[in-house]
Amino acid sequence: MRVRDVMKTDVITTDPKTPIMAALETMKQNGIKRLPVTRRGELVGLVTRAMLRDASPSQATSLSVYELNYILSKMTVEDIMVKKPVTVSPDLPVEEAIWLGKKHGIGAFPVVEEGRLEGIITESDITEVVSGALGLGEEESRRLTLDASGRRFGFLRGIVDVLDVHKIPILSIMSIPGKGDGTDFLILRLRARDAEAAIEDLKKAGYRLTDVT
């Protein structure tokens, strides 16, 4: 799945010359946390609600309320925006967008192709994709955690063979490394309300289940 498959394309944007108070009002009215800044369709920056709220002249402590309000009314998005925000391509795999978010400590990316803003993808979009991929929210499902330390070739095939016998589909498979102690875990989410017989057969086949929910 690519970014273009989950990004929002009806992006609310703002102009660099927009007063910061007007940009903040736009965010409030639309319930959004960030605004891509564009000029003739080309992305030139990004501004967030926190940036707008925190915007103030450095000499603010020596100004009266009226003077401060006057200066703030003259400030524009261009004065405080991030001029080179981290962006992603619409063809980037979604899982790589997750990694970039962790690397840069940010929760959203403007999606840019050949300089033009094509959309935006946020942490909520990514969370929805990951939740769906993991089968979360399925009412009739079971979650199995298996110790996969020192797994051998055919480890996963053996699990699938057991589940096939019981006609239990796999919703998701996730491999999680241990905390640096050489252990590995394999987490399966199964589409089944009753998987006890399959679980017993997995144990008989030598698989060590560390958690069943």
Kind and range of the H or E run holding 125: helix 123-133
- What are the residue boundaries of the structural domains of the chain, listed by start? 3-131, 142-212
Q: Regarding the domain delimited by 3-131, which CATH topology (the fold level of the hierarchy) does it fall under? A: CBS-domain (3.10.580)
Closest Cα to residue 94, out of 42, 134, 59? 134
pLDDT at 60: 47
DSSP class of 61: G
62 compared with 75, residue with greater pLDDT: 75
pLDDT at 153: 77
pLDDT at 59: 46
* CA distance linking residue 31 with residue 29, whole number of Å: 6
Question: Is the pLDDT reported for residue 28 higher than 60?
Answer: yes
> What average pLDDT does the chain have?
86
Question: Is the pLDDT reported for residue 188 higher than 90?
Answer: yes
Q: Regarding the domain delimited by 142-212, which CATH topology (the fold level of the hierarchy) does it fall under? A: Alpha-Beta Plaits (3.30.70)
In this prediction, what percent of the chain has a pLDDT beyond 90? 49
